[in-house]
């Protein structure tokens, strides 16, 4: 192999290594600028000291090596400690809502604030944030839970309780 080609080949491989390192080390783009510089200097060196025709081979190699090194960098970062490898599931003990809230559907309670449409309510002895389906409910009105989705508790005015309390 020609000694003149040794430096550009080493610079090309160094550039590939720096592109991969950019994914693993936080540098704010400094490593990428270094990689561009090494690729650029390798092309310059080949065009000036060897032959402009050989530059085309180096450019073809760059077209293949640079995307390949980006893919390798992405694969390496996905296996590094900087990424979350576990999924959060109920089986591993992670819950997104209180277990008591799952059982609230159908429960009755009382509006602690005006619900327009969101506010506070007392349901099953607990003060909770609730929303209505768009209705305005006056403070102190009886309500019932129509659904629970995540931490969102949907309520409606309980007309049966309201009419019974009106008769008393």
Kindly give the interhelix angle for 52-78 and 30-45, rounded to the nearest 10 degrees.
160
Tell me the C-alpha distance between 32 and 36, whole Å. Answer: 6
Contact predicate 129/120, CB 8 Å: yes
Residue with more model confidence, 65 or 100? 65
Is there a single domain that holds both residue 71 and residue 106? no
User: DSSP code of 146?
Assistant: E
* Whole-structure pTM value: 0.47
Under 8 Å CB-to-CB from 143, ≥6 apart: which residues? 108, 109, 110, 111, 115, 121, 123, 130, 137, 155, 156, 157, 158
Tell me the C-alpha distance between 75 and 7, whole Å. Answer: 29
Give residue 103's pLDDT: 75
pLDDT in tens, 23-64: 888 788 899 899 999 999 999 999 998 888 889 998 998 899
Contact predicate 155/131, CB 8 Å: yes
Is there a single domain that holds both residue 12 and residue 70? yes
pLDDT in tens, 154-167: 999 987 555 444 44
Is there a single domain that holds both residue 22 and residue 72? yes
**Whole domain around residue 150: which residue ranges?**
99-158
Residue with more model confidence, 101 or 119? 119
Mean pLDDT of 65-93: 76
Tell me the C-alpha distance between 106 and 64, whole Å. Answer: 63
Location of structure tokens 């400094």? 30
Residue at a domain's end among 78, 112, 128: 78
Given a cut of 90, whether residue 138 has pLDDT beyond it is yes
Is there a single domain that holds both residue 56 and residue 107? no
Query: What element of type H or E holds 143?
Result: strand 142-149
Is there a single domain that holds both residue 7 and residue 74? yes
For residue 37, being part of any structural domain is answered with yes
Contact predicate 110/143, CB 8 Å: yes
Q: What is the CATH number of the domain that holds 133?
A: 2.40.50.140
């Amino acid at each position: 192999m020609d000694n003149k080609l040794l430096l550009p080949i080493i610079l090309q491989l160094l550039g590939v290594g720096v592109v991969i390192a950019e994914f693993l080390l936080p540098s704010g783009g400094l490593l990428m600028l270094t990689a561009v510089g090494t690729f650029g200097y390798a092309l310059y060196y080949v065009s000036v000291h060897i032959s402009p025709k050989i530059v085309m081979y180096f450019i073809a190699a760059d077209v293949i090596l640079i995307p390949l090194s980006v893919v390798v960098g992405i694969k390496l970062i996905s296996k590094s400690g900087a990424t979350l490898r576990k999924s959060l599931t109920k089986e591993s003990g992670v819950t997104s809502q209180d277990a008591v809230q799952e059982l609230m559907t159908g429960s009755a309670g009382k509006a602690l604030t005006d619900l327009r449409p969101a506010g506070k309510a007392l349901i099953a002895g607990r003060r909770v944030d609730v929303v209505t389906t768009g209705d305005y409910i006056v403070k102190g009105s009886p309500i019932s839970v129509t659904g629970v989705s995540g931490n969102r508790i949907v309520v409606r005015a309980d007309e049966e309780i309201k009419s019974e309390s009106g008769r008393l």
